[in-house]
Structure 1
Amino acid sequence: MNPADPHLAKTRLLDFDAPSIVKLIEERGWADLPRYTRIGAIYDFVRNEIVFGYNRADDIPASEVLADGYGQCNTKGTLLMALLRGVGICNRLHGFTIHKALQRGVVPELVYPLAPSEILHSWVEVETDEGWVNLEGFILDTSFLQTLQQEFSYTDSLCGYGVGTECLSAPPVAWTGHDTYIQDNGIVHDFGTFEAPDEFYSEHCQSFGFVRDLLYRHVVRHWMNARVRAIRRGTLPRASRLGRPNHSHEETNSAA
């Protein structure tokens, strides 16, 4: 392990030296596992033991995500990166925006029109023996995803409820050493790769506006989390309209 490698560096957000993260890595014995298994064990932890949900902001440290016990694409990605770096696995962030249609059904219909048309999104790229691998499939925990698979068993195409996929019945979300995806077909803009999330959020931030940001932090995200918990229990809040996002912006081919 090269401590000077920027893809292994500790940052404000990737605080893998925080006591809670150090303790978790030690208790799970991740550092002692073979490289492939080490990546998979941490990936599975973030995918299922840190359940899908909405934190107070995107740019929070990994230790805060761990303490919350839930997260979405950006915050779970920060935790995944920190844990992987804590055991010597190089990684980086790939930043995007996705169409807000992917959040329909989780965002209450009353406030859906107020949501920005594009939502800040990211996935983690991890360095393996075969090269860089894209990891996005960790966003939704299994219980949440299974409810959607049961409810929409008649189709493999879903854009909504935190999903953007053409293979809902068997999405590539399990760690196999290859790319994993669950929201990739809703991507609008591709911002490229960043050595750390700190760099990404210093250049890009979600443009809610002051009032909408306050509403999101203190009201809307709690409402969304209640809906997510209901879905995880098997109760699906209805969305008025689901479908493929209508991309009016520059497309990206990076998530093919």
Structure 2
Amino acid sequence: MKEYLASTMMLNFENPSIQQLIDRKGWRRLAERDRISHIYEFVRNDITFGYNQSDELTASEVLRDGYGQCNTKSTLLMALLRAVGIPCRIHGFYIDKRMQKGALTGIVYQFAPKKIVHAWTEVYFQGEWLALEGVIIDEPYLQQVKEKLYRFNNGYIGYGVAVEHPKDINVCWNGASTYIQSFSITDDLGIYASPDEFFSQFHNTDRFVKKLLFNILRKRINRQLDSLRKQNKNYVE
């Protein structure tokens, strides 16, 4: 289990901002189940759903941003879990980009690859590995979009969500795996000990022009997501 507890360049949980957060929250004093639960809920709801400049951000950079998507939230979640002695790893996939429609719009959606690199954190708890994919979407955002999903391959997708049925969504951690985008998985890319290892091989914006375009437009996208989250009448899909 040693490799699933180690710090890395991306899992930089020795960073003062991460250590101060853990001390302030008192997570180290909690029982193992509660450590996982409290950290999971923090990353799910205090770190809102949004698009960072890169999948390769360190955990402290994601914490500084205060928002993230599947890949960057996984990095922060892993760092916080390892910092309090909880073994975890990263599981990578490709997902159908149609799941992102509504969250990604216009030219950004058009230029997005057909298959998007996706990852979730797996935590070792009571002798088994559990998926924590449900951490991606914060509750206020989820409540606004789950009725906007559209039918696709006997499920429902859109706005960064892919589920069998909106009524069955349960992303609160209760000791079992949680899922929120898994219905759109197209390929399994395997399990890795760290995000550093995974993202050294797989990228969503591996071309300079695409990366530049995405970073020009992503702040506008994040404003749209915030507007939707707050039920802003000026939100435009």
With the shorter chain as reference, the TM-score category is over 0.9
Residue 196 of structure 2 is aligned to residue 198 of structure 1: yes
Q: What amino acid maps onto 1:205 in structure 2?
A: H
Aligned partners of 1:174 and 1:105: how far apart in 2?
Answer: 24
Q: Among 77, 84, 88, which residue is 1:87 paired with?
A: 84
Which residue pairs with 1:100 in the alignment?
97
What CA deviation, in whole Å up to 9, does each residue of 1:184-243 have, x standing for no partner? 0111111110000000011212245211110111x22112111111110125643xxxxx
Question: Which one of 219, 226, 230 corresponds to residue 229 of structure 1?
Answer: 226
Write the distance in 2 (CA, Å) between the matches of 1:11 and 1:154. 40
* Pairwise CA distance, 1:157: 4.1
Taking structure 1 as the reference length, the TM-score comes to 0.87
Unaligned runs of 5+ in 2: none
Q: Distance in 1 between matches of 2:203 and 2:188?
A: 14
Could you tell me which residue of structure 1 aligns to residue 212 of structure 2? 214
User: Where does residue 114 of structure 1 map in the other structure?
Assistant: 111
After superposition, the Cα gap between the structure-2 partners of 1:216 and 1:111, relative to the gap in structure 1 and judged at 3 Å, is: closer
Please give the TM-score of this superposition, normalised by the length of structure 2. Answer: 0.93
- The root-mean-square deviation of aligned C-alpha atoms, in Å, is 1.9
In structure 2, the partner of 1:171 is: 169
Range that drifts further, 146-155 or 14-23: 146-155
Q: Is residue 2:139 matched to residue 1:142? A: yes
Q: Which has the higher helix share?
A: 2
* Aligned equivalents of 1:215, 1:187: Cα separation in 2: 25
Per-residue CA shift, 1:23-57, capped at 9, x if unaligned?
00011010110000110000000000000000010
Q: Say which is worse superposed, 228-237 or 23-32, in terms of deviation.
A: 228-237
Q: Which residue of 1 aligns with 2:186?
A: 188
Q: Distance in 2 between matches of 1:32 and 1:173?
A: 24
Conserved? CA contact 1:101–1:160, under 8 Å:
yes
Counterpart in the other structure of 1:67: 64
Q: Counterpart of 2:167 in 1: which secondary structure?
A: coil
CA distance in 2, matches of 1:122, 1:157: 20
Question: Which shifted more, 83-92 or 103-112?
Answer: 103-112
Where structure 1 has 5 or more consecutive residues not aligned to the other structure, the ranges are 239-256
Task: Determine if contact 1:73/1:123 at 8 Å carries over to the other structure.
Answer: yes
CA distance in 2 between counterparts of 1:49 and 1:215 reads 28
Counting matched residue pairs gives: 234
The equivalent residue for 2:19 is 22
Q: Do 2:149 and 2:159's aligned partners in 1 also have CA atoms closer than 8 Å?
A: no
- Letter matched to residue 80 of structure 1: L
Equivalent residues of 1:116, 1:208 under 8 A apart: no
Q: Alignment partner of 1:137: what SS?
A: helix
Identity, in percent, stands at 44
Aligned with 1:52 (options 49, 53, 78): 49
Q: Which deviates more from structure 2 when the two are superposed, residues 208-217 or residues 184-193? A: 208-217
Who is 1:39 aligned against? 36
